[in-house]
Amino acid sequence: MRGILLSLLVAGVLVTAPARAGGVAPARILIIGDSVTQGAAGDHTWRYRLWRLLQARRAAVDFVGPRRGEFNAAADPDDYDDVADYPDPDFDQDHAARWGGSMAWRLGDYDIPQLLAGYAPDVVINDEGYNDLTVFKLTPQQLIDLMAQFVADVRAARPTAAIVIGQLPQRWAAGVDEYNALLVDLAAALDTPTSRVLAAPAPQDFTEYVDTYDPAHPSATGELKIAEEFAGALALLPLPTLPAPPVPDTAYAGAGRLSVTARPHSALLGLTAPAGATSQVVWARDLTARGRWHPVARVPASAHHHRVRALHRHHRYAFRVRAYQGDRASTVFSRVVRVRLP
């Protein structure tokens, strides 16, 4: 009954135009898996870790699928998508993973053509196989045959979709090493420039009860290691990327140098602009009249002299300059120079 209901759900999905971020259409990624991928209530999941890695790379991606939650046997042992109890829910939670899922009973779970027609993925990730080898006791070759049929089914429904199949990291389980080796051969045999099939490697260092919290399910370190391998495989695909964020308008802190020579009714300023400046603004203050600072002229950075006129004889004045890079004012002024006019 669950398989029928999920098939109806998938068949009824309306595929809409992908949401655009920064004007870029994201790659739609459908993640198929078992409990290692779905996660139990309270797990971050490697899907979360992969999302974070792809965001850091500024890859434009959209995870798609009929489920969003994790498995929670305490709430309902028959509900395989009971909760979305993620420690950090700030990621794209859509997926097509199922606790207890396997390749051996794929048709009893959901229909691949309907799933792909409903979600139109650009990339299909499959991370199943552990249950097939350990619970259903398939041989590694039998599992490889099912994976080959899976690739054929995906290509029939979605010819342009890239396919990434994960090697199993639980190498302590019987048959895993042999299956992983066969998977590399399968991917190499089926991969083409226009229809990619990639094997995401199992992490080299993946230790039972260190990178897992039981014989199968990843701990936080295991989640990250699995995600890193899938991120590495996805890096081989031409995923769209988001535009680079705007460069922050960092503060300009150039300070020029200033000298002043007093003249009757004027002051002759000697100017040296700081590196990177395009202009400088001269500021003046009549100290005798207790006046305020005010700008009196903007001069190009190439100017080495400027005369300030219409000043009062016998008054004391203070001068300073502020450098500019285009419209950006420096955060500092030059030192203040004081002078008394004759």
pLDDT(43) > 80: yes
| 202 in Cβ contact with 236 (< 8 Å) | no
Region 250-270: mean pLDDT is 89
Domains, the chain, ranges and CATH?
Answer: 2-234 (3.40.50.1110), 257-340 (2.60.40.10)
What's the mean per-residue pLDDT of the chain? 89
281/1: higher pLDDT: 281
Region 263-287: mean pLDDT is 94
21 pLDDT band, cuts 50/70/90, is low
Question: pLDDT tens for residues 53-65?
Answer: 999 999 999 999 9
pLDDT(82) > 70: no
Share of residues in the chain with pLDDT > 90 (%): 76
Q: Give residue 80's pLDDT.
A: 61
CA distances 207 to 204, 210, 295, 298, Å, are 9, 5, 69, 68
Q: Give residue 327's pLDDT.
A: 85
pLDDT(1) > 60: no
Distance CA 97, CA 94 (A): 9
Instruction: Please compute, for residue 251, the number of CA atoms within 13 A of its CA located in the half-sphere on the CB side.
Output: 5
Distance CA 254, CA 336 (A): 15
pLDDT(338) > 80: yes
Region 94-104: mean pLDDT is 91
Q: Give residue 164's pLDDT.
A: 98
Q: Give residue 72's pLDDT.
A: 85
Look-up of token digits 């700081």? 274
| 289 in Cβ contact with 256 (< 8 Å) | no
Region 306-319: mean pLDDT is 94
Q: Give residue 341's pLDDT.
A: 95
Distance CA 196, CA 234 (A): 11
Residues with Cβ within 8 Å of 246's Cβ and at least 6 positions away in sequence, in order, are none
Q: What is the pTM of this model?
A: 0.69
pLDDT(197) > 90: yes
236/23: higher pLDDT: 236
Q: Give residue 9's pLDDT.
A: 37
Q: Give residue 222's pLDDT.
A: 97
pLDDT(19) > 60: no
Lowest mean pLDDT among 7-16, 19-28, 171-180: 7-16
Share of residues in the chain with pLDDT > 70 (%): 88
Distance CA 202, CA 148 (A): 19
Distance CA 174, CA 172 (A): 7
pLDDT(12) > 70: no
Question: pLDDT tens for residues 133-192?
Answer: 999 999 999 999 999 999 999 999 999 999 999 999 999 999 999 999 999 999 999 999
24 pLDDT band, cuts 50/70/90, is confident
